[in-house]
Structure 1
Amino acid sequence: MFETIEKIDGALVYHGNMHKRIYFTEADNIDLDILLPKMHDLAKRQQYEKILGKAPEQEVNALQAKGFSVEAKIPGLYNGKIDGYFLAEYPNKKRYTNDEKSLKTIATVKTIAKAANNSHSDSHFEMPIDFNIKKLTAADFKSLEDLYHKAYKYHPHQIKDDTYFSKLKELNHRFYGLFQNGELLVSTILCINEAESNMEIVDFITHPNYRGQNLSYFLVQEIIRQMGDYKCKTLYTMVRATSYGLNITFSKHGFLLAGTLKNNCMVLNTIESMNVWYLKKTL
């Protein structure tokens, strides 16, 4: 499987050798004195280099006392009332550092993207008439897997498959696709957390022949419209910190920057930092 997803002492934990990282969430009301030693043991056994946690405000001090540092903050992430934090610890200290060139690129992307938030002259493009968006079902998973094969032809370790999509569906993920004449061109995965009244855009995937056309823009518009249907007050996502296009896209839609997760995941053959963007909506 692309990544192992399991419950450990009540926390939902994602981990795997591709990212060499543990990501735990749903950590509220969990005994960190029990959970964290297990995270450290898992990291040691699998030689993971980073441990990332998403936690509400009341858990921040306890995590910081155990060596975690805040990398991003989303106001009102939990039910629109309690702030949410992404905190990280680095068992491999080398994972924490960035070279000067990467740091400059990340800073430039942030500056340009933030400026786009203040310019709404082209914020609402009309979708071409021969395109349509639909919610994907399990019957579409093979087509979705095929899209991943096309997009990651030379990076097969990054291909998500039918089995992984089915597992995500069980964990309340939803799938949307942008089609042209019946062909799936772009897809996104949403993680819906009804208990927290938030949802995360987990992934975008684009057909290699259509890259650079900013087609994900239309899916973002559709997802924002879906927030009310899912009763979600906050929408957030993680975007490659060196990607001008997606950072600008989210900023133009009114998303705000929450912070940057350092060297957070593998993209193609490179460990990439990720910018966290969020959007608030009153239901």
Structure 2
Amino acid sequence: MFEKIENIEGALVYHGNMHNRIYFTDADNIDLNVFVPKIKALAKQRNYEKILGRAQESAKGLLQSNGFKVEAKIPGLYNGKTDGYFLADFVSEKRHVNDEKSLKTIESVKTIALAANKPQTDAHFSIPANTTIRKLDSDDFPLLEELHKKAYKYHPNQIKDAAYFSRLQQLNHSFYGLFENNELLVSTILDIHENESNMEIVDFVTHPDYRGQNLSYFLVQDIKEQMKATGCKTVYAMVRATSYGLNITFSKHGFIFAGTLTNNCMVRNTMESMNVWYFKNE
């Protein structure tokens, strides 16, 4: 499986050698004094280099006292009222270091993306002819897997498969695809937290023949419309900090920059920092 997903002391924990990292959520109504030592022990046992957590304001102090540092903040992430934080503990100090070239690129991407920011009332662009967007179900998982195989042809260890999609579906994830003439060109996964009135755009995967055409723009546009219809108050995404295209796309859609997660995950064969962007349904 792409990543192991398990419940530890009531928190949802994702971990594996792929990203050499632990990521936990749903840790707001648990005993952190019990949970934190357990995930630190897990990191040591598996030689993971980073632990990342998403938590409310009430958990921030205890996590910080245990070596975690705030990397991003989303105001009102929880039900539009309580701030949310992404906090990281770098088990390996080298995981926190970026070379000068990467730092310059990350800063350049951020500067250009912020300059492209548009108000939330930005005009709605019509989807290209012969192109449709629809929700995917389990019958579409083979299509999703095939798209991943094409996108990660030379990096097979990063291919998410139908079994992994089924596991995510059990955890209240939804799947959407952009099709042209019935061929799946772009997919995205939404991690929906109904009890928190927020959702995360987990990833975008684009057919290699259609990269650079900014088709993800229309999926983001569609997600914003769904957000309004369902009453979701906040949607957020983690985007490669060196990717001009996606960072500009989110900024153009009125998303707000929340911070950068340093060396957060492996994308193809490179350890990437991720920018966090969020949009609020006012």
What TM-score do you get using the length of structure 1 for normalisation? 0.97
Match of 1:13 in 2: 13
Secondary structure in 2 aligned to 1:229?
A: helix
Specify whether residues 123 and 18 from structure 1 end up closer, same or farther in structure 2 by C-alpha distance, changes over 3 A only. Answer: farther
Query: Equivalent residue for 1:164?
Result: 164
2:276 alignment partner in structure 1: 276
Q: Deviations over 1:7-35 (max 9, x none)?
A: 10000000010000000111102111100
Relative distance call for 1:168 and 1:109 in structure 2 (3 A) is: same
Once residues 43 and 178 of structure 2 are traced to their aligned partners in structure 1, the CA distance between those partners, rounded to angstroms, is 38
Instruction: Please tell me whether the aligned partners of residues 261 and 274 of structure 2 are also in contact (alpha carbons under 8 angstroms).
Output: yes
CA deviations on 1:177-232 (whole Å, 9 max, x unpaired) are: 00011100000000000010000000100000000000000000000001133321
1:123 to partner: Cα distance: 5.2
Tell me which residue corresponds to 1:97: 97
Aligned runs of 1:229-240 on 2, under 5 Å? 229-240=229-240
Residue matched to 1:192: 192
- 1:123–1:253 contact (8 Å) kept in structure 2: no
Question: Secondary structure of 1:2's match?
Answer: coil
Shift of 1:254: 0.1
Give the direction of change, closer, same or farther, for the CA distance of 1:26–1:255 in structure 2 (3 Å limit): same
What is residue 51 of structure 1 aligned with on the other side?
A: 51
The DSSP-based 3-state class of the residue aligned with 1:195 is: helix
Q: Which amino acid aligns with 2:24?
A: F
Partner of 2:66: 66
Quick check: 1:123–1:252 contact (8 Å CA) kept in 2? no
Q: 1:120, 1:171 → 2: CA distance?
A: 30
Q: RMSD of the TM alignment (CA)?
A: 1.3
DSSP-derived class of the 2:13 partner: strand
CA distance in 2 between counterparts of 1:237 and 1:256 reads 10
5+ residue gaps, structure 1: none
1:125 deviates by 2.6
- TM-aligned CA deviation for residue 126 of structure 1: 1.7
Q: CA deviation at 1:122?
A: 8.0
Who is 2:248 aligned against? Answer: 248
Distance in 2 separating the partners of 1:210 and 1:160? 20
**One-letter amino acid matched to 1:45:** Q
Q: Report deviation, 1:124.
A: 3.5
> Where does structure 2 lack aligned partners over 5 or more consecutive residues?
none
Deviations 1:128-171 (A, max 9, x none): 12100010000000010000000000000000000000000000
Q: Tell me by how many angstroms 1:279 deviates.
A: 0.1
- The structure 1 segments of at least 4 consecutive aligned residues displaced by more than 2 Å after TM superposition are 118-125, 228-231
Q: 1:41 corresponds to which letter in structure 2?
A: A
Larger mean Cα displacement after TM superposition, 34-43 or 114-123 = 114-123
Deviation at 1:92, TM superposition (A): 0.7
* Counterpart position of 1:204: 204
| Aligned partners of 1:2 and 1:159 also within 8 Å | yes
Q: Distance in 1 between matches of 2:259 and 2:119?
A: 21
When residues 31 and 193 of structure 1 are mapped into structure 2, their CA distance, relative to the original with a 3 A threshold, is same
Which residue is 1:135 aligned to? 135
CA contact (8 A) 1:25 1:53 kept: yes
Q: Aligned partner of 2:217: which letter? A: Y
For residues 119 and 82 of structure 2, the distance between their equivalents in structure 1, rounded to whole angstroms, comes to 30
Describe the SS at the equivalent of 1:27: coil
Percent of residue pairs bearing the same amino acid type: 69
Cα pair 1:234 1:280 within 8 Å, conserved: yes
